[in-house]
């Protein structure tokens, strides 16, 4: 497991939960894409607003928590498959409900940091909408 990538995912989900646009923006690379609905994706300039809209629509009373993840690296690119859970804000330590398998593509930057360049929190369920 790549701890640097795990760290980026942790920051990304914490920023979504806190509604911190600056911290969220720092998690994404240049020309990043986010799958904000099952049938389209948006460019990086829209990533933050797309995630904020997702948060307001699907998780106004919930926070994102993460479970297991698998990181597959090839050079400066990594595929990440992670379990995501939405848990109620008022009981954040409750046992999570059924998880979703989110898919991310991370890219190593010139300073050796990792940034998310594709964020698909619909994960493999996206195939159901194809």
Angstrom distance (rounded) from CA 7 to CA 111: 16
Say if CB 13 and CB 104 are below 8 A apart: no
Threshold 0.85, pTM exceeds = no
**pLDDT tens for the chain, residues 1 to 130:** 579 999 999 999 998 888 888 998 899 998 888 886 666 655 555 677 777 777 777 667 788 888 899 999 999 999 999 998 888 877 767 766 777 889 999 999 999 999 999 998 878 777 777 6
Q: CA end-to-end span of the chain, whole Å?
A: 31
Angstrom distance (rounded) from CA 78 to CA 75: 8
Angstrom distance (rounded) from CA 98 to CA 102: 13
DSSP the chain: --HHHHHHHHHHHHHHHHT-HHHHHHTEEEEEEEEEETTEEE-HHHHHHHHHHHHHHH-TTEEEEEEEEEEEEETTEEEEEEEEEEEETT-TTSPP-S-EEEEEEEEE-TTS-EEEEEEETTGGGGGGG-
85 C-beta neighbours (distance < 10 Å), count: 17
Domains, the chain, in order of start with CATH, read 3-129 (3.10.450.50)
């Amino acid at each position: 497991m790549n701890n640097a990538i795990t760290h980026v995912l942790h920051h990304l989900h914490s920023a979504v939960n806190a509604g911190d646009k600056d911290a969220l923006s720092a998690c994404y690379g240049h020309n990043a894409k986010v799958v904000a609905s099952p049938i389209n994706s948006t460019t990086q300039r829209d990533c933050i607003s797309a995630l904020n809209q997702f948060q307001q629509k699907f998780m106004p009373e919930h926070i994102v928590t993460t479970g297991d993840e698998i990181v597959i690296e090839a050079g400066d690119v990594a595929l990440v498959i992670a379990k995501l859970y939405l848990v109620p804000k008022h009981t954040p330590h409750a046992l999570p409900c059924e998880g979703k398998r989110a898919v991310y593509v991370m890219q190593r930057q010139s300073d050796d940091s990792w940034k998310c360049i594709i964020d698909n929190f619909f994960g493999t369920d996206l195939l159901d909408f194809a």
